[in-house]
């Protein structure tokens, strides 16, 4: 999609919905106790790369061994640096995590499969078409990665 082409209406409606619902999610996920939402959502605290403004982004996650996996659609991942730890709020606790930005198509596809097994609803939000084999369409995946999609693998500091 060329830069000046408007996003499809479904994506614009989804973005507005999440802008409103994220206010509620932030408040619930910031509680000092574990909540049912915390089983699939966490808060990522990061700072704007240009403005230095603090952001608190609710994101879904999946546990993969000792790491967490997050689909990284959206501009918030531009504020992450692989050498800089980030504070996350996970199940009522503040933890430092080191983000690893995974953009290799083969690894992104593998990680999305891992995430989809644990959280099947992920497929509603990561809309990369599949081919007849059930694998992600390589051209669509490449286009998504070219437009900034990636997977964030969080290495936790305990």
Q: Give domain limits for the chain.
A: 9-157
pLDDT at residue 13 in the model: 80
Beta strands in the chain (DSSP E): 41-47, 54-60, 62-64, 67-71, 86-90, 93-102, 151-157
Phi, psi of 45 (to 5 degrees): -100, 120
Instruction: Check whether 122 has a pLDDT greater than 60.
Output: yes
Instruction: Check whether 127 has a pLDDT greater than 90.
Output: no
Distance CA 5, CA 117 (A): 34
Cα distances (Å, whole numbers) of residue 73 to 15, 66, 88, 115: 12, 22, 18, 14
pTM: 0.85
CATH number of the domain located at residue range(s) 9-157 in this protein: 2.30.110.10
pLDDT at residue 32 in the model: 86
**pLDDT grade for 4, boundaries at 50, 70 and 90:** low
Instruction: Check whether 1 has a pLDDT greater than 60.
Output: no
């Amino acid at each position: 999609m060329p830069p000046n082409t408007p996003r499809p209406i479904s994506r614009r409606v989804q973005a507005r919905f999440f802008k409103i619902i994220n206010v509620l999610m932030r408040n619930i996920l910031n509680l000092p106790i574990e909540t049912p939402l915390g089983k699939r959502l966490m808060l990522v605290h990061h700072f704007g790369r240009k403005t230095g403004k603090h952001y608190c982004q609710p994101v879904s996650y999946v546990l993969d061994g000792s790491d967490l996996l997050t689909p990284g659609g959206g501009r918030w991942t531009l504020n992450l640096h692989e050498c800089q730890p980030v504070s996350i709020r996970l199940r009522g606790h503040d933890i430092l995590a080191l983000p690893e930005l995974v953009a290799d198509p083969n690894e992104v596809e593998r990680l999305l499969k891992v995430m989809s097994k644990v959280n099947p609803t992920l497929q509603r939000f990561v809309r990369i078409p599949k081919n007849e084999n059930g694998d992600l369409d390589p051209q669509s995946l490449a286009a998504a990665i070219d437009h900034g999609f990636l997977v964030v693998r969080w290495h936790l500091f305990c």
